[in-house]
Amino acid sequence: MCKTIGKVAVLAVLVAGGVVAVRSSSYVATLWSNTQQAVARQVPRELEMDRVRLQISKLDGDVRGLLGPVAEKMALVAKLEREVGNAKENLKVQRDAVTALTREVENGEAVVSFKGNEYTLNQAKTKLARDFTTLKRGETALKTQEKLLDAHRKNLQHTKDQLNIILDQKREFEVQLAQLEASEAELTVMRQITPLKVDESRVADIKATLEAIRNAQEVEQNQLKLQEQWAPILQGQQQAVGAQPKTVVDLNEIRAYLGLNGEGTAQADSK
């Protein structure tokens, strides 16, 4: 029982480890892909066009590299064509000979004359059987050689087509690159004469922040000026309050205003 539990635990650990490994590799691949895309977005278009121009120029080297194999294939096809042609001629001669010998054997003569030689009927049959086998073997070999020639011809044509495709693509790439360069030049001119579109909310925030800073500085400057202006006056008032000088009262003026006599009573109004 304990062994079974242990095996299950080990299996669980292995499965968990496999899941973690798969996720980790997935995270790494995703991070690498995102990094590549971020770098690609930061590459200037002018640099990318220069890189493409260099790659287009290298297509000439690719074409030159294919010329050697193409020349070899052309030579091989020419050799096979000669071999097939010679084989056809030889087999035609062999077929004619077998046909003629067959007719002689069919005549049933005891002595068979064939191409300046005389054979007994049995010898002629033996020769006919041998020549017929050789003819069939040669025709089978010819069919195989013709198939090989056809395969090499198709391969050669495919290679030539590839060369033409590369050359056509190279010309098309050159046209596209020229168009993109012209468009980039137009964009450069437009950037010089067309104001850039800026986020208005960001501009407004910048203006408001600068204005707030400027206002705060002006407030502080005014406070400092007021403190400098009013500090001596405030200090003088404090000193005056601390000394408490005697208050001078003009009693005569007060009596005259109130109409008081010498005894402190008010005089009556004249009637």
What is the rounded CA–CA span in Å between residue 27 and residue 21?
Answer: 10
CATH of domain 45-189: 1.10.287
What is the rounded CA–CA span in Å between residue 227 and residue 215?
Answer: 18
- 163 contacts 63 by C-beta, under 8 angstroms: yes
Q: Is the dihedral of CA 6, 9, 15, 20 positive or negative?
A: negative
Give the pLDDT score at 8: 47
- 45 contacts 184 by C-beta, under 8 angstroms: yes
* Least-confidence region, from 139-143, 198-202, 218-222: 198-202
List the beta bridge partners of residue 120. Answer: 111
Q: Closest by alpha carbon to 111, among 119, 122, 99, 102?
A: 119
Q: Closest by alpha carbon to 142, among 131, 152, 150, 154?
A: 150
Q: Mean pLDDT, to the nearest integer, of 87-106? A: 92
pLDDT surpassing 70 at residue 28: no
Q: Mean pLDDT, to the nearest integer, of 185-207? A: 77
List the beta bridge partners of residue 266. Answer: 260
pLDDT 10s digits, 126-163: 988 999 999 999 999 999 999 999 999 999 999 899 88
User: What average pLDDT is seen over the chain?
Assistant: 80
pLDDT: which is higher, 271 or 216: 216
DSSP-derived 3-state class of residue 109: coil
Give the pLDDT score at 11: 52
Give the pLDDT score at 34: 58
The domains of the chain are located at: 45-189
Give the pLDDT score at 26: 62
DSSP-derived 3-state class of residue 112: strand
Give the pLDDT score at 2: 52
What is the rounded CA–CA span in Å between residue 50 and residue 171?
Answer: 16
